[in-house]
Structure 1
Amino acid sequence: MQVDVFDRVIRNAIDVMENSKYQIFEICESVRAEREALNKELQSVIEETSRTIDTVDRFEVEYRRSRVRLTEVSRDFKRFNEEDIRAAYEAATQLQAQLAIHREKELHLKARRDDLQKRLKNVDKQLERAESLVSQFNVVLEYLSGDLNQVTRLLESAKNRQLLGLKIILAQEEERKRIAREIHDGLAQNMANMVLRTEITERMLAKQAYNAVKDELNDLKTGVRGGIEEVRKIIFNLRPMALDDLGLVPTLRKFVQDYEERTKIRTKIELVGKEVRLPSGMEVAVYRLVQEAFSNVLKHAEASHVSLELTFQQQMIKITVSDNGVGFSTDNIDKKIARGSHYGLMGMRERVELLEGRMDIESAPGAGTKLSMVIPIKSESKEE
């Protein structure tokens, strides 16, 4: 009877999640359509900007000629009469007005172009969040849609190796998807935009519109710098190379410094004991644990200060992350983590247990949180 009830609850949960997944999918499609429309409008504005720049250049040349003509007829009273002077003046005035109008249009188009680029970036972020939700729903539905007995066993044992292996594979696929999206929507779009703007600059340079060329080159330089930062970010997220070159502690010091600059949360790092180099895999694991802990502080703690303490001993390393945030109740925390209500903590605990360590949590509402992870250093690790 209990199995029947449990099966019915699972089926209802699957139905609700299926409906929710399709709703999120519709949101994704709507955001994609909006992104496509914005992208088309942006390309249209860029092309119109280029045409307007050409028009401004042409009017500037014609206006300079009209000024020269006005000067000539104004000085030579023998060859030109009052009617000639008036016609030259009206022509110069009309060209000046047209030039002012097109210059204003050029400024408006550039402002519109920049606004569309900002909106496009915001839409990309919304699309990324929606796609992440769809992916998470698919993962959960895959777990729940299996055989009922298997689902029961998975719920009763969070240490199940098959489940853990599946999570690792899904995490790898999610990371590949994230990297592909970052390259396609970030770096690739920036490079395409830079090529187009380079072509515009070449046309302006041919017309000797040096002031406009200077502005475009400054924008182009900013775009190149942004592309370089995107590449560095992707490389660093794949593998912090400083781990191999400098070791765990210097890399974590750099991470903590960057974290403080990026989030404006005050940070502190302390080293207890004598630092020793760990095996490459263990250093990466410790780095990712610290990274996840600091990410949880940013997402949930509402803290103004976070500290990291690394304790090196002969047979173990201890990682302690403390914050002064809002905290939470730790009543039945192990059961909550096992049920998956704290995904970040669940993933961290699984990583620690893979390293045959343990993780302890101290927290209370309004009293901040202290996370301690102890990882043993095996004899073969010390030999390395």
Structure 2
Amino acid sequence: MDHRIVDINRVIKNAIQVMEDSKYQIYEICENARTEYESLELELTQVLQETVSTIEKVDKLELDYRRARIRLTEVSRDFVKYKEDDIKSAYEKATQLQLDLMVYREKESYLKARRDDLQKRVKNVENSIERAETIGSQINVVLDYLSGDLNQVTRILESAKNRQLIGLKIILAQEEERKRIAREIHDGPAQSMANIVLRTEIAERMLIKQEFQMVQDELIDLKGQVRSGLEEIRKIMFNLRPMALDDLGLVPTLRKYVQDFEEKTRIRTVFEMVGKEMRMPSAMEAGIYRLVQEAFTNAMKHSSASYVSLEIIYQSQMVKISIQDNGIGFQSELVEARADHSSHFGLVGMRERVELLEGRLDILSELGKGTKVTFHIPITAEHRKE
């Protein structure tokens, strides 16, 4: 047995070394991608500014060229009032403006193509950075476990208390990833969409000068759509990681979630709390929040309910969360029997999350009489957060 442990330890040490080397390679890739991203962003900003300036120049040249042609027509008709030098001067001016207009139109086309290409490259680099950071995060999690003593890991797995701590660590890693994604969405797509709104306003002002009413109406509509998209992205950010969860706690965050759920789905909701709220570790509160979120989503998708209630009961060593709806219900015995082999109503995901928290999931449902899902989550002294 000792010989096997030595072999396993050697294999683990080799794996750790390989992953350590890979981690630094990923870090270098990520840093190079960030440098490229900053360079592309700077170039894109310059191209956008030059594009706007060129568009304005083209608009001015078109107006000047139209006036020059009118002037040329005018002097060509009146040989009494205007001399040959006047006609020649008007012709040369019109010709020069026409050439300038052609040059700037070509420049405008080139800049627009360059702008589109840079925007695609920026997006691709963003995706590369995100993938590299995700892989790096996953490697770090694996290294944390492999770096521990093998015998110590065995003792940890034999302890129910420490199994729960491992579950909390896994959930914490997931939530850290969600916070990172939320931050990137805020700094990336949200800012980009705000910039698009600004660009449409510039285009709108330019088009007003040319009196292209139909195009102006289209741009106004586009601006409204972009603003709606920006609002939707902010909602996605909240769903990824509610900022109120860290600042205010579980109960205020769930209260807001229930209110938003009612506004979005038009399903009447009720929120009740019994006992005194206790702050718990961030990972534990996040795990409970996800459980409630999944239960409400299931009620919306599968139950055809017109009413959903959420009740939280704080006890001395446990928090009990019940979600009940008045929907079509189902045969809970049949679902329980199949829960290990299917993802029916998302119960497998909820069951796994509850088990990570060392809790218990109870389902009570009957055809035509709705469904009640209850989570029992133990709260030990270590989990209390003053």
Question: What TM-score, normalized to structure 1?
Answer: 0.64
CA gap 1:219/1:43 in 2 versus in 1, 3 angstroms: farther
Report SS of the residue matched to 1:311: coil
TM-aligned CA deviation for residue 164 of structure 1: 1.0
- 3-state SS of 1:160 partner: helix
Q: How many angstroms does 1:128 deviate by?
A: 1.3
Native 8 Å contact 2:323 2:373 kept in 1: no
Query: What code does the residue aligned with 2:261 have?
Result: A
CA offsets per residue over residues 329-370 of structure 1, 9 Å max, x none?
A: xxxxxxxxxxxxxxxx9976632534535xxxxxxxxxxxxx
Residue in 2 that maps onto 1:99: 101
Counterpart-to-counterpart distance in 1, 2:172 and 2:296: 30
* Structure 1 partner of 2:343: 321
- Alignment partner for residue 39 of structure 1, among 18, 26, 41? 41
Amino acid corresponding to residue 360 of structure 2 in structure 1: E
How many aligned positions are there? 303
Q: Distance in 1 between matches of 2:144 and 2:102?
A: 63
Of stretches 118-127 and 20-29 in structure 1, the one that deviates more from structure 2 is 118-127
Residue 194 (structure 2) aligned to one of 179, 191, 196: 191
Q: Which residues of 2 match residues 75-154 of structure 1 at below 5 A?
A: 75-154=77-156
In structure 1, the partner of 2:63 is 61
Map 1:171-250 to 2 at 5 A: 171-195=174-198, 198=201, 200-201=202-203, 204=206, 208-211=209-212, 214=216, 220-238=223-241, 241-242=260-261, 246=267
Provide the secondary structure at the position in 1 that maps to 2:343: strand
In structure 2, relative to structure 1, the CA distance for the partners of 1:116 and 1:197 (3 Å cut) is farther
- Alpha-carbon spacing, 1:54–1:44, altered in 2? closer, same or farther (3 Å): same
Q: Is the 8 A contact 1:315 1:377 kept in 2?
A: no
CA contact (8 A) 2:26 2:132 kept: yes
Change (3 A) 1:349 1:5: farther
| 1:13 matched to 2:15 | yes
1:170–1:236 Cα change, 3 Å: closer
| Amino acid across the alignment from 1:145 | S
Call closer, same or farther: CA 1:202–1:53 in 2, change over 3 Å.
same
1:356 correspondence with 2:364: no
Instruction: Provide the residue aligned with 2:330 in structure 1.
Output: 311
- Structure 1 residues 174 and 245: CA distance shift in structure 2, 3 A: farther
Stretches of structure 1 that go unaligned for 5 or more consecutive residues are 256-268, 285-308, 323-344, 358-374
Report the Cα offset of residue 211 of structure 1. 4.4
For residues 279-308 of structure 1, the C-alpha deviation after alignment (integer angstroms, 9 at most, x for no partner) is 565659xxxxxxxxxxxxxxxxxxxxxxxx
How far residue 196 of structure 1 moved from its aligned partner, in angstroms, is: 5.9
Letter in 2 for 1:232: K
Q: Deviations over 1:12-58 (max 9, x none)?
A: 11111111111111221122122112211210111101110221122
Q: Which structure 2 residue ranges, 5 or more long, are not aligned?
A: 242-256, 270-293, 312-320, 366-371, 375-386
**Structure 1 residues 105 and 211: CA distance shift in structure 2, 3 A:** farther
Partners of 2:297 and 2:351 lie apart in 1 by 22
Measured after TM superposition, the shift of residue 110 of structure 1 is 2.5
Q: Counterparts of 2:200 and 2:332 in 1: how far apart (Å)?
A: 57
Structure 1 partner of 2:24: 22
- Using the TM superposition, give the Cα deviation of residue 220 of structure 1 relative to its aligned residue in structure 2, in angstroms: 4.2
Give the Cα separation in 1 of the matches to 2:110 and 2:43. 14
Q: Is the 8 A contact 1:316 1:376 kept in 2?
A: no
Q: Secondary structure at the match of 2:148?
A: coil
* Cα 1:226/1:377, change in 2 over 3 Å: same
Q: Which residue of 1 aligns with 2:168?
A: 165
User: Are the aligned partners of 1:276 and 1:312 in contact in 2 as well (CA < 8 Å)?
Assistant: no
Contact map agreement 1:21 1:134 (CA 8 A) in 2: yes
- Superposed CA deviations along residues 99-142 of structure 1, whole A, max 9, x for unmatched, are 23322322332233233223322322221121111111111111
Judging changes above 3 Å, is the alpha-carbon distance between structure 1 residues 321 and 242 closer, same or farther for their aligned structure 2 residues? Answer: same
- 1:282-297 aligned at under 5 Å gives the runs none
**Structure 2 Cα separation of the partners of residues 96 and 203 of structure 1:** 25
Q: Sequence identity, in percent? A: 40
Task: Tell me if the contact between 1:35 and 1:124 (Cα under 8 Å) persists in the aligned partners.
Answer: yes
Counterpart CA distance in 1 for 2:25 and 2:172 is: 26
AA of the residue aligned to 2:131: R
- Cross-structure match for 2:252: none
Q: Which residue of 2 aligns with 1:298?
A: none
RMSD: 4.2
Displacement of 1:218 after TM fit? 6.0
Is the contact made by 2:51 and 2:111 (CA closer than 8 Å) also made in structure 1? yes
Q: Does the 8 Å contact 1:279/1:381 carry over to 2?
A: no
Contact 1:46–1:113 (CA under 8 A) maintained in structure 2: yes
Deviations 1:173-213 (A, max 9, x none): 22222211111112133324534664x4487479x245498
Q: Is the Cα contact below 8 Å between 2:41 and 2:122 reproduced in 1?
A: yes
Aligned-partner Cα distance in 2 for 1:381–1:79: 95
Q: Which residue of 2 aligns with 1:259?
A: none
CA 1:349–1:315: 2 relative to 1, 3 Å = closer
CA separation of 1:150 and 1:249: change in aligned 2, threshold 3 A: closer
State the alpha-carbon separation in 1 of the partners of residues 61 and 54 from structure 2: 10
Q: Which structure 2 residues correspond to residues 322-337 of structure 1 after superposition, within 5 A?
A: none
